[in-house]
Structure 1
Amino acid sequence: MKPLKLKRHLSTKHSKEADKPLDFFERKLKTLNQQQTTMMQVSSINEKALLASYQVAKTGKSHTAAEKIIFTSSHGYGKIMLSKQKADTQKSIPLSDDTIKRRIDDMAVNIRKQINEKLKKSPHFALPFDESTDVTDCAHFLWYLCALKEMKAS
C-alpha cells in the first residue's frame, strides 16, 4: 500500500492508534504472527483427527467398535508410552455414527468420480461378471469395471 494511503487509513479508521510509536505496531505484528502460528498448530491437530476418522471409516466397523478399540487400547498404552497430554489428543477424533457414515459416503463418491474419470479417458472398457457362493450356499453376483487402454497393432 502506498504510504499516503496507509497514513490516511490510519488517521480515519484507527484514530486512537494514529499517534502511537512504531514500536507499538511492531508488537502488534508480532502478536498477530504468534496467533497465526497457534492457529496452524491447532488446525494440524484437527487434520490429523480427520485423517484418523477416515482410517476408522475404512475399517467398516461401527463407531462403538472403533471407540472401544481406540480408546481402551491406544489411550491406555498412550498414557504409558507417551504422555497423558498426547494420549488425550485421541479424544478429538470424530467417531459418531453420522460422522463415520459421512466419511464412508465421501469415500464412495470419490471412488465413483475416479471410475468415471478413468472411463472418460479410456475409449474401451470391460465389465466382467462372476457368481460366487459363500459358506451358507448363498449366491453372490460379482462384477467390476476395467478401463482398457487402446491396443495398437504391432
Structure 2
Amino acid sequence: MHALQCQVEQLQPSTSKTTGTLKKTARRGAVERRTLDEFKLKRVRFDASATLPTLGFVPIDKPIITASYEVAYLIAKQGKPHTVGETLIKPAALKMANIMLGKAAENKLSLVPLSNDTIRCRIDDMSDDILAQVVADLVASPTKFSLQLDETTDVSNLSQLILFVRYVKGDEIKEDSVLQASHNNDEGS
C-alpha cells in the first residue's frame, strides 16, 4: 500500500491538503470490499427513492415502443420522408383520439415518439434485424445459396444495383434482397 501511496503522491501536486487527503485514502484502503447483499440493498433503496422519475426520466411502456416501430414500418413501406411521422401522422392521430376517445387517449398517444431521428433509428433497427435473420438463415441452410446481381440504368441516367440471395429454409426456397444501391452517372464516376 505504501508504494501505491508514493506513486499517487508523485502524480499529484504536493500541497498539504492533497497529500493529507491521499494519505487518509491510502490508510482507509482505496478499494473497499463489498458483498452482493450490500449492492442489492443499495438497489432497493435507489428504486424506493424513485430518483430517476423525479428528474423526468421514466421508462417507456412496451406498447408505446411497439406503436413507434409500427408507424416507422408503415413510413418505410410507403417510401415517405421520415418527417411525416411528426408533421402529419402524430398530429392527425392526436386530433382523432381527442375527438373520438377524449383527452386521456390523446395524452397517451402523445407519448409515442415519432421524430425524424426516432423513425430513422427504428427503420435502421428493423433493417439490421432483417439482415441478421437472412444471414442466420443462410448459415443454417442445409444447401449452398446463390447470389444474383442486377444492374440497370434508368432514363434519368441513374444506375441501380440490387443483390438477391436464394437459399433453402425448411421446405421452401427463399429469395431476399440483400443490397440496393443507386448512383447518379451525371455526377461522374
Matches of 1:138 and 1:110, distance apart in 2? 29
Corresponding residue number in structure 1 for 2:67: 52
Asked if the contact 1:124–1:149 (Cα under 8 Å) also holds between the matched residues in 2, the reply is no
Q: Which letter maps to 2:96?
A: Y
Higher strand fraction: Structure 1 or Structure 2?
Answer: 2
Partner SS for 2:85? helix
Asked if the contact 2:85–2:119 (Cα under 8 Å) also holds between the matched residues in 1, the reply is no
Asked if the contact 1:126–1:148 (Cα under 8 Å) also holds between the matched residues in 2, the reply is no
Counterpart pick for 1:126 among 125, 146, 165: 146
Matches of 1:89 and 1:72, distance apart in 2? 13
* Cα gap change, 1:149 to 1:81, in 2 (>3 Å): closer
Q: Which letter maps to 2:135?
A: N
TM-score for the superposition, normalised by structure 1: 0.59
Partner SS for 1:95? coil
1:107 correspondence with 2:126: yes
* Cα gap change, 1:62 to 1:137, in 2 (>3 Å): closer
Q: Which letter maps to 1:86?
A: A
Gaps of 5+ in 2: 1-57, 172-189
TM-score for the superposition, normalised by structure 2: 0.49
Counterpart pick for 1:141 among 155, 161, 178: 161
Corresponding residue number in structure 1 for 2:114: 95
Higher helix fraction: Structure 1 or Structure 2?
Answer: 1
Identical columns (%): 36
Asked if the contact 2:82–2:120 (Cα under 8 Å) also holds between the matched residues in 1, the reply is no
CA drift of 1:84 comes to: 1.5
Corresponding residue number in structure 1 for 2:105: 86
Counterpart pick for 2:96 among 73, 77, 94: 77
